[in-house]
Amino acid sequence: MHFLINLESRMMGKNNIEKTYHVDLDVARGMMILLMVFRHAVNTTLPEDLPLYVYLYLISDWFNMPFFMFISGIVSAFSIKRLDVLSDFFSLLKSRAIRLLIPYFLFAGIVFAGKMLLQNVVTLEKPVSGFNALFMIILAPKQSSFGSYLWFVYVLFLFYFVVSLAKFLLKKNWMPVCLALGFILQFVEGTDYLAIKQFNAYFFYFVFGNYVYKHYSSYLDFIQKYRYVFILMLGLFIGVTSLVEMTPFIVGMLSLPVLHYFSRIDWVENNCFLLLCGRYMYPIYLMNTFFINFFKMLYACVFPLDGGSFLFFALLCIPVGVLGPYITQRMVIRRIPYLNTIIR
């Protein structure tokens, strides 16, 4: 593991990266993808004999995806510039479709084919019902028996579509309109069809990320100055939300400055493993469940998936879910030019 991290650091040329990229964003994405990999140890049911794990799992749901979408919004500000003519809009939409939708359908199709081949041989937690299940990755990705873990990519494309369209139609007024829309949608339940529910839940964070990037230096100074206030308030609202049913939006918003501040602490920002995970976030996201589920099948043949044994399994999922996609990206996808351009 240490060898891989040092090797990748040399290949990346960290000093050059810092001149071009915001290292804290890669580190932040690395933190969140590690948490997501850890959460993917659970496919359908939570272990009832590990209440602390269940509690932490549910709490992490309040800030894992909000922060992911927030960081994605900041990153999107790099790529969505001025859209003066209709061809600019379609050009951007085409590039995002190639980058997001092709991998989405490709990996969903791989999982579908794998389940079709294996479900009559081994017991699967979410077997597929037949070829009609393929429509679910388009109609309701979160409810798909084989592509549900990819919903983030689907929703991210919708965000790019709506924000790009708003930029083209509304010009300079797009941001206040989208921020207001995102805030209103926080209180609209939505439906799983076309991932409207997930769109409503996270659109505000994505647009807010765009807003923050326009004032990035001031924003960083602000979270640095009031970091302890945000940490205290986040802890307080996590406790309150655990006891009283209320919208997780407050916890989600408070988590943004806290997690971003944490990603900028020297010993965190200089962590090569987090930087590696952040740079390879996309292939890790696309492929981690392949390796986790395969490892789970092998692990379950020897050890029970409950109690301390499950917790040990969940911890092992981190290196399995990170190194599997990383090695696949470096050794396989990198050798296929087209895939290497869209999955990196």
Q: Are 103 and 157 in contact (CB under 8 A)?
A: no
Euclidean distance between CA atoms 344 and 336, whole angstroms: 12
Euclidean distance between CA atoms 62 and 205, whole angstroms: 12
Q: What is the pLDDT of residue 60?
A: 85
Instruction: Say which range, 31-35, 37-41, 103-107, 275-279, has the weakest mean pLDDT.
Output: 37-41
Euclidean distance between CA atoms 7 and 294, whole angstroms: 27
Euclidean distance between CA atoms 201 and 300, whole angstroms: 35
Domain ranges of the chain: 2-342
Euclidean distance between CA atoms 207 and 265, whole angstroms: 25
Q: What is the pLDDT of residue 247?
A: 75
Q: What is the pLDDT of residue 38?
A: 86
Distance of CA 49 to the CA centre of its chain: 28
**Residue 121: other Cβ atoms inside 10 A:** 7
Please give the mean pLDDT across all residues of the chain.
88
To the nearest 10 degrees (0 to 180), the angle between helices 51-79 and 196-214 is 60
pLDDT tens readout for residues 118-163: 777 776 677 777 788 888 999 999 988 888 889 999 999 999 999 9
pLDDT tens readout for residues 184-221: 999 998 899 999 999 999 999 999 999 999 999 999 99
Euclidean distance between CA atoms 190 and 197, whole angstroms: 4
**Residue 104: other Cβ atoms inside 10 A:** 23
Q: What is the pLDDT of residue 262?
A: 96
Cβ within 8 Å of residue 273, ≥6 positions away: 1, 5, 30
- Under DSSP, is residue 109 helix (H, G, I), strand (E, B) or coil? helix
To the nearest 10 degrees (0 to 180), the angle between helices 151-170 and 174-185 is 140
> Where does residue 130 fall: left (phi above 0), alpha (psi -120 to 50 degrees), or beta otherwise?
left
Question: What totals of helices (H) and strands (E) does the chain contain, helices first?
Answer: 18, 0
User: What band does 11 get if pLDDT is binned at 50, 70 and 90?
Assistant: very low
Pairwise pLDDT comparison (8 vs 142), residue with the higher score: 142
**Residue 173: other Cβ atoms inside 10 A:** 11
Q: Are 322 and 37 in contact (CB under 8 A)?
A: yes
Nearest to 60 by CA among 321, 314, 291, 296: 314
The one-character DSSP state at 126 is S
pLDDT tens readout for residues 229-260: 999 999 998 888 777 777 789 999 999 999 99
Pairwise pLDDT comparison (202 vs 18), residue with the higher score: 202
